[in-house]
Amino acid sequence: MYNSKITGLGYYVPENIVTNNDLKEFMETSDEWIQERTGIKERRWIDPKSDDTTAVMGAKASKIAIERAGLTKDDIDFIVFATLSPDMYFPGGGVQVQDLLEMPTIGALDVRNQCSGFIYAMSVADQFIKTGMYKNILVIGAEYHSGGLDKSTRGRNVSVIFGDGAGAAVLSRSEEAGKGILSTHLHSEGKHAKELILEGPSTKHWVPEILEANNPDDVSYYPYMNGQFVFKHAITRFSEAIVEGLTANKLEKEDIDMLIPHQANLRISQFVQRKFRLPDDKVFNNIQKYGNTTAASVIIALTEAWEEGKIKDNDLVVLAAFGSGFTWGSVIIRW
């Protein structure tokens, strides 16, 4: 049994900043409404004229992470790519990154799992490292939401929340006992799938059916969220995932040095912070700048926290996420 450790981190967000006031161009909303309910001030939305896509952003973040790990693309043994917004129905984003970075013919696996995608991806990578199968795995979370949102007033409760971006980590085999990823914890409850969903295009709603219907009032091709229902479940499951991770490692909430919650909504993060009585310097949030980037949010936040010197050697770092599925989980790391 080997240990696994994060050896490189990187993120990339598109240049194009969209403020809350900018959204008023498309919908009836206000900076005050959005900030009060979500904490979001602005988000990055890909300029459709740019070359950025989910996979391209994932590759840009990966390049940085690989370099910071002191490795080259040829040292990576495997790719795990988490997204809910792949460039294509198939193939997935992992193989695109393999191609974009001109990597050897290593395996590439795509993970769905929405806002919990990066947590699931880290857990998968951790197992491959711990069993000794691979030495260095590239783990990516990337999302391009802005192209698929209902930006009219009809879709405003969802579309103001989501942003575009990508982050990547290199997870490597390590000889340091008691350091690196201590444990990962994964859960799902599919009976709530309809509360946070994007129905089509899919095998239930094939493209010919969509084209034939040609019904601009059909909202099943836009993401749907039952906001208050999601909020209630998120605060419960976030907390459970953190407690589960601490308990598995015989740790207490006072042992947490840095909590990186999925950036769903600042109010959710603040609720969890209060519940665990964590001071402000032990919880990292950047939803104010980037909105909710689903599978990319935890890894972008982790990278920024690390870049800002907020994570130090030997710190106990807790990653936690909750999202569509419902799915949720945590990763417990001794840095």
Residue 241 contacts ligand ACO per CB under 6 A: no
Shortest separation between residue 104's beta carbon and ligand ACO, angstroms: 35
Segment interacting with ligand ACO (CB under 6 A) among 34-42, 134-142, 270-278, 312-320: 34-42
Give me the 71-110 binding string for ligand ACO, x by CB under 6 A, dash otherwise.
Answer: ----------------------------------------
Pair 248, 332: CB distance under 8 Å: yes
Pair 135, 173: CB distance under 8 Å: yes
Judged by CB under 6 A, the residue of 41, 156, 185, 282 near ligand ACO is 156
Judged by CB under 6 A, the residue of 231, 236, 315, 335 near ligand ACO is 231
Residue 69 contacts ligand ACO per CB under 6 A: no
Q: Exposed, middle or buried, 157 (CB in 10 Å: 0-12/13-18/19+)?
A: middle
Please tell me the distance from the alpha carbon of residue 234 to that of residue 252, in angstroms, as a whole number: 21
Q: Print burial letters for 22-56: b (CB count within 10 Å at least 16), e (below 16).
A: ebeebeebebeebeebbbbbbbbbbeeeeebbbbb
Residue 163 contacts ligand ACO per CB under 6 A: no
How many CA atoms lie within 13 Å of 194's alpha carbon, on the beta-carbon side? 1
Residue 323 contacts ligand ACO per CB under 6 A: yes
Pair 230, 195: CB distance under 8 Å: yes
Catalytic residue among 20, 115, 136, 145: 115
Residue 161 contacts ligand ACO per CB under 6 A: yes
Pair 126, 119: CB distance under 8 Å: no
Shortest separation between residue 265's beta carbon and ligand ACO, angstroms: 3
Residue 148 DSSP label:
G
Residue 227 contacts ligand ACO per CB under 6 A: yes
Q: Is 20 a catalytic residue?
A: no
Query: If you compute the radius of gyration of the chain from its CA atoms, what whole number of angstroms results?
Result: 19
Residue 224 contacts ligand ACO per CB under 6 A: no
Q: Which residues are catalytic?
A: 115, 262, 292
Interface residues with ligand ACO (CB under 6 A)? 29, 33-34, 37-38, 115, 156-157, 160-161, 196, 225, 227-228, 230-231, 234, 264-265, 267-268, 292, 322-323
